[in-house]
Amino acid sequence: MKWEQKVNQVLAVHGAKRMNGNKASERTQTLTRAVIYASMRRWHALGYKIEDPHNLKDRHIDLLVRDWWFTQKKKFKTIQNDLSRLRCFCKMMGKPCLVKKVHDYLHDVDPKFLIVHSAATKPKSWDAAGLDMLSIFEKVDARDRQLGLMLRIELAFGLRREEVLKCDVHAQDYGRYFAIYPGQGKGGRERDIPSMTDAQRQILDYVKSKAKMNCPLGWEFTKGGKVATLEQNLTRYDNLMAALGFTKNGYGVTGHGLRAQFAENHALINGIIPPSMGGARGQMDREELKSRLQKISEALGHHRISVMNAYFCSFGKQSSLDAADLYLKNIDAGLAVLAGQELPLVNDEWREDCIHIRNTLEQLYVEATLPQVQELWRIYCLRNGVKWMKPELEIGIAIQSSALTLTKTALKSNEKAA
């Protein structure tokens, strides 16, 4: 088709760079091409036989956006994203002012429908969905070992889908941090992810023992034996995840939920209990909270702390500090749940760690038996993807998070029973 050649010519000259001058990733280029192709086909279907994109006028953009909303019923966020790619393409053609803001085209739509709610309204993590990470890893390994390795890294370091497919665990392990190289992260951004827990090191060492040297974690070849492209690997990843039930209609989770779980885990070792786990804004001074959230945001590859709401819900508008004994009440509530259970004896290999944890809790005026300590710490370890990890950072926060999980689970069980 003539219009395809014209589109490809524009993208060949300008498509490899973003508007800010940085290199555009393969994924970005592919998505931009897909949006432009779909738009051209839609204009043709609506009776506008545009053969040269340079002939696009304001009326064409207006028609398309209104068709997206009123006829195709696209989500507002999707329209925003597609319009952004269309705007970039028009700038490539030397028409920087052709595409306006989405509200200019949907002026007769109630503004309350044209809002993107970025804050999560419920937990997205796999732990919140009641999934046992060790059992999940075993299940995935049996289906596809390579995917099992990728999911472990997603949990341990919060990598995005494309990042983990490109990831070379041997090269990117710098001991005290895990590096995301330029061109791997979203927008081509690089970042360093602190590797500070025993669980992260256990997972990374395990994956390195199974992964090839100097090779990304993504599948090297297609099922047909040809060298796999990034797009083919993205599709294979999505298909496998769906087949294993990791969808909103399946287990109620997606691969991105592992990134949310990393955000929660990283919050805990930074002394924060996130809202998705029962934490409130008042757990520390506002400026201190902002400082710690900034560290978590940067580990995820962001620069704004407001984006954290999308990972573990919003802290709300509480302005006063929590009561000093709130942590004690939370832990006591969890211990009350355990009091009615027959707990296993303390594992000899874990006894020294359990004693260390109990001693730490005693300094916080918390009294717990060693079996109770073992159970609370085991719950914390499982959400980190390991059977057991050394107690090192923010032990009190970790125990409190497990206690909150126990209390929440018990409450749900009681509601179902009623």
Would you give the DSSP letter of residue 182?
T
Q: Tell me, rounded to whole angstroms, the distance of Cα 104 from its chain centroid.
A: 32
| pLDDT at residue number 57 | 96
Joined together, the tokens standing for residue 331 give 């832990």
pLDDT at 188 over 60: yes
| pLDDT at residue number 16 | 76
Q: Please tell me the distance from the alpha carbon of residue 40 to that of residue 43, in angstroms, as a whole number.
A: 5
Domain locations along the chain: 2-113, 127-267, 321-417
Q: Please tell me the distance from the alpha carbon of residue 73 to that of residue 79, in angstroms, as a whole number.
A: 10
For residue 267, give the amino acid letter. A
pLDDT top residue among 348 and 317: 348
pTM: 0.79
| H helical segments located in 93-132 | 102-105
For the chain, percent of residues with pLDDT exceeding 70: 95
pLDDT at 119 over 60: no
Q: CA–CA distance from 327 to each of 22, 150, 364, 399 (Å)?
A: 46, 35, 9, 10
Q: State the first-to-last Cα distance of the chain, in angstroms, to the nearest integer.
A: 64
Transcribe 251-314 into DSSP letters. Answer: TS--THHHHHHHHHHHHHHTT---GGGT--GGGS-HHHHHHHHHHHHHHTT-S-GGGGHHHH--
Q: For residue 121, name the pLDDT band (cuts at 50, 70, 90).
A: low
pLDDT top residue among 352 and 12: 352
Whose structure tokens read 């046992």? 132
Q: In DSSP terms, which residues pair with 192 in a beta bridge?
A: 179
Q: Please tell me the distance from the alpha carbon of residue 315 to that of residue 325, in angstroms, as a whole number.
A: 19
Q: Please tell me the distance from the alpha carbon of residue 381 to that of residue 323, in angstroms, as a whole number.
A: 28
| pLDDT at residue number 269 | 96
What would the CATH number be for the domain defined by 127-267? 1.10.443.10
Average pLDDT estimate for 39-54: 94
Q: Which of 349-353, 390-394, 412-416 has the lowest mean pLDDT?
A: 412-416
Q: For residue 140, name the pLDDT band (cuts at 50, 70, 90).
A: very high
Query: What are phi and psi for residue 238, nearest 5 degrees?
Result: -60, -45
Q: For residue 324, name the pLDDT band (cuts at 50, 70, 90).
A: low
Joined together, the tokens standing for residue 330 give 């939370």
- Cα Dmax for the chain: 76
| pLDDT at residue number 178 | 96
pLDDT at 17 over 80: no
For residue 127, give the amino acid letter. D
pLDDT at 319 over 60: no
Identify the CA nearest to 379 among candidates 401, 395, 361. Answer: 401
Q: CA–CA distance from 266 to each of 44, 199, 297, 312 (Å)?
A: 49, 12, 10, 11
Whether the Cβ atoms of residue 403 and residue 279 lie closer than 8 Å to each other: no
Fold type of domain 2-113: DNA polymerase; domain 1 (1.10.150)
Joined together, the tokens standing for residue 242 give 């769906």
* Identical fold, 2-113 and 127-267: no
Would you give the DSSP letter of residue 177?
E
Average pLDDT estimate for 212-226: 96
